[in-house]
Every structure is written in C-alpha cells, then in structure tokens.
Structure 1
Amino acid sequence: MEPNSQVIVALDHDNRATADAVVEQLGDACRFYKIGLELLTAAGPDIVKDLVAQGKEVFLDLKLFEIPNSVAGAVRAAGAMGVSLVTVHGMGGSSIMAAAVDAARDFPGLRILALTVVTSMTDADLADIGVADTVDEQVLRLARLARKAGCHGVTASPQDVAALRRILGSDALIVTPGIVLPGESSAEHARHGTPGAALTAGASHVVVGRSVTRAADPAAAFRLVQAPPAA
C-alpha cells in the first residue's frame, strides 16, 4: 500500500472554508480524508461529494449506532456518495454490524469498519457504563464480533494494533485514530501513538488530525506522517 493511501487526514472543523483550505494546502499529496459528525453537520453532504469528485477517498466516520434498518439506510446513502469507509459502532452488536455489511454489498468500493473502543475511553469509563472488562479485553471482544458479522475491519487505538492484527489476520483493515507526531502530546486521546509505531505494529491506515491541520505548514507535517520514524 502506498504511503499516501495509508494516511487519512481528519477534517475535524466546524466550517467548510477551513476544511477546503486544508485540502488545497495538501493538494495531490493527500488522497484520503476523514469527515466526522462535526463537519458533516456544519457543511452537509456536498463536501463529501465534492471530495469524491476531486478523486479523493472519504472515510465517513459516523459511528452508526441505531436500529439495523436505519443503519442500513445510512450506509446506502454513504455508498451512493462514493464514500470508501464508514464506521458502525461495535457495541451496537451483531445485527447492526451485519445490516451495515449487507447494505454495503451494492457498493463495491465501500468498506465497513467496526468501532471498538474510542481512543478517549479508559477502563474507568467502561466501568461507568457497566462493562467490567478492561479496554484491551473489550477491544478484542468487539473485533471478534465484527469479524463474525462480516465487517471489513475495525477502528482502534494505535496501542491495540498488534493484538488486533494477530486475531484478525493480514487482510483486515485496522484504522487507527489517536495519531500524534513524535514529541507531541494529546489531551483528547487517552490511548494514542505515533504513525510509525502504528504502521510497524500492523495498522493498515493511520488517521491524523490537528498534527497536520493545525500545523504552521500542513504539507510539511503531512510529509512527516507519510515517512515517520519508528518511534
């Protein structure tokens, strides 16, 4: 896989103008962008369609957690826009994940990722909602459930990648948010890691946000993510 297809830049912005400026600054170097709930709500689906029309791939990070029929409808809408990746919440269970996978069959370029445990959550957070297992245990449980439901892969923290690759095999997608450049810290991700460490452990894709989009020179920061040191 080429480096520029492994790096997904998260357009976590509250307006389209800022997102468009990042895309323009990165130019042809970046071919893959993540759009989450904030930008989708602020800018609407046109930004997704326009990125696809420019030849970009789009990871629509919806974290779908609804009744299966509604999840299937959202997946079909994403597929019709030309989206490449969509997330469904693993904690929604097998029926929700299977409905998403089934809805994606009509769109050969669309892949379904199951969210395991968001990178901001800790063992204590899981305990708050009645999950007695550790984050590590819950990640692996949901990954196995996702594989059984037919999902094409999972999203998980960089710290989970090695264990996930062992149980999911070589073909599964493992997409890792919570990516920071060496020497940076992250206030929003309790479980984070560097791009080099995630890719070395077996991640198929890394998702990087502020390290690139808020950098003084986003293009230079993107190049550091593309060719990272191992630590």
Structure 2
Amino acid sequence: MSDPRNRLIVGLDVATTEEAEALVQRLGDSVIFYKIGFELAVAGGLVLAEKLAHSGKKVFVDLKLHDIGATVEKATRNVARLGASILTVHAYPQTLRAAAEGRGDSELKVLGVTVLTSWDAEDVREAGFSESPEELVARRVRHAHDAGVDGVICAPTDLAVVRKIAPSPFLAVTPGVRPAGTALGDQKRVATPGEAIRAGADRLVVARPIIAAADPRAAAEAIVEEIAAAG
C-alpha cells in the first residue's frame, strides 16, 4: 500500500447512482477506492459497484451482512463475483465463518464489523451488552481472527485494541474519520486522518467531509496528503 490514495476509501453516501457517478467523475484520478453502503445499494448501487470495478476502481461493498450461514455464504459469493475488493459482515462467529467460506479463493477481503462509530458506552448497554465498547470490540476482533476473515471495521479510537490482538497483515479499516475542524455529525468515536494512520489503520473511510465539501477533489487530495505525511 505504498500509494496513499489506496488508503483512502470515499463513501458514496448519496441517494442515487446518478449522483454517485457524477461524484466519481468529479473526483477523477484523485480517488481510486469507493464505498457503496445501504443507501446506494438499494438504489442500484450494486450494479454501479460492478461497473466501477470493471473500470479499474476498487470497491468496498458495505452491506454489514448478518443472516443464517447459508444466506451469508451465498451473498458473499455473489459480491465476490461483482469484482468488489471489500465486503463487511457483522462480527458474529457463524456469520464470519460463512462469509469466509463464501469468499473462497477470490480476491475479496471480508471484514467483520465490531462496534459502530455512532455507538458509545450507553448505546452498547442499551443493546444488551454488559461490556464496555472496548471490551466488545476486543471480543469481536478475536471472533474475526479465529474465523479466518481478513480484518475488521473499527472506530479509530479502537485501533490500539485491535492491533494488540491482531497485528498486520490483519486489516483494520476505520470509518469515523474527520479532518480537523470538520463537523462530527452522528459520529461519537472519531479521529483525524493522521491520528488514525499513526494508530495503525490500514485504510480510512471518509464520506461527508469529502462529498459535502465545496470542492470534493481538493478535500480528498488534502486527506491523501495527510495520510502520506502520517504513514
């Protein structure tokens, strides 16, 4: 991952594929890796994922799958056929094992979702867990590592926990990244791009600070420069 552009994933968190394609066109060669999440996936985003992959871009399909094992395995196999580079599943043991099986020998990387960046200790308790967010992250990292998937999605504030349990080449990909001075929105456990890279993140997922910027390309270039300086 010598190219810092390969460490930035831009979230196409927009309502339509037309908006997404216009954004990709505007960003041009400043971005090589894109995320397609739920909002866009249910508006034709999986077709766009295949199109982007075939055009030479890398695609992160952020579906956070969680279902019976057979369904997760087959869905993972289908995502691999799209040419996607990354797929997320929730970090429950059966789900992780099924996704690892569905990935097979493809180039798709499967990442387990630990604790959402919009959750804090109160949210974890409300969901019925007795652990702290850090303890829950640690348990889910162990599940992902034991299941043989490629890494996890975690908040940048949890990177120390992840790296203590599973050093590289186990992947740690972090959303909840906010350049200094930008709004946090609904994110609660965040860091700047430089902080996240220095803490051990392999790749950063950034959406609103880029796609809502007056000049998205300049915003992306600034983050790439910060990644390069920190790496």
Q: Normalising TM by the smaller chain, what interval?
A: over 0.9
Map 1:148-159; keep pairs closer than 5 Å: 148-159=146-157
* Helix, strand or coil at the partner of 2:175: strand
Aligned to 2:96: 97
- Cα deviation, residue 44, structure 1: 4.1
Aligned to 2:141: 143
Aligned to 1:88: 89
The superposition leaves residues 114-173 of structure 1 with CA deviations (integer Å, 9 ceiling, x where unpaired) of 000010111111111210111011011100111001110000001111221121012111
Map 1:169-180; keep pairs closer than 5 Å: 169-180=167-178
Q: Distance in 1 between matches of 2:161 and 2:114?
A: 13
Map 1:120-135; keep pairs closer than 5 Å: 120-135=118-133
Q: Distance in 2 between matches of 1:143 and 1:185?
A: 29
- Cα deviation, residue 41, structure 1: 0.3
- Cα deviation, residue 45, structure 1: 2.1
Checking the alignment, whether the CA contact within 8 Å between 2:62 and 2:88 is kept in structure 1 is yes
User: Which portions of structure 1, spanning 4 or more consecutive aligned residues, are displaced by more than 6 angstroms?
Assistant: none
1:218 to 202, 216, 222: 216
Aligned to 1:192: 190
Which blocks of at least 5 consecutive residues in structure 1 are unaligned?
Answer: none
* Helix, strand or coil at the partner of 2:213: coil
Q: Distance in 2 between matches of 1:106 and 1:200?
A: 31
Aligned to 2:77: 76
Counterpart code for 1:46: V
- Cα deviation, residue 193, structure 1: 1.1
* Percent identical: 39
Counterpart code for 1:117: V
- Cα deviation, residue 29, structure 1: 1.8
Map 1:28-43; keep pairs closer than 5 Å: 28-43=29-44
Q: Distance in 2 between matches of 1:69 and 1:38?
A: 24
Which blocks of at least 5 consecutive residues in structure 2 are unaligned?
Answer: none
Q: Distance in 2 between matches of 1:44 and 1:8?
A: 16
* Helix, strand or coil at the partner of 2:39: helix
Checking the alignment, whether the CA contact within 8 Å between 2:50 and 2:82 is kept in structure 1 is yes
Counterpart code for 1:216: A
Q: Distance in 1 between matches of 2:6 and 2:206?
A: 13
* Helix, strand or coil at the partner of 1:180: coil
Moved more, 126-135 or 55-64: 126-135
- Cα deviation, residue 87, structure 1: 0.4
Aligned to 1:209: 207
Checking the alignment, whether the CA contact within 8 Å between 2:36 and 2:45 is kept in structure 1 is no
Counterpart code for 1:78: V
TM-score of the two chains, using structure 1 as the length reference: 0.95
TM-score of the two chains, using structure 2 as the length reference: 0.95
Map 1:46-85; keep pairs closer than 5 Å: 46-85=47-86
- Cα deviation, residue 13, structure 1: 0.7
Aligned to 1:119: 117
Q: Cα RMSD over matched residues?
A: 1.1
Checking the alignment, whether the CA contact within 8 Å between 2:137 and 2:161 is kept in structure 1 is no
Aligned to 2:14: 13
- Cα deviation, residue 106, structure 1: 3.6
Counterpart code for 2:101: D
The superposition leaves residues 35-83 of structure 1 with CA deviations (integer Å, 9 ceiling, x where unpaired) of 0010010124211111011100100001001001000111011001001
Q: Distance in 1 between matches of 2:17 and 2:45?
A: 9
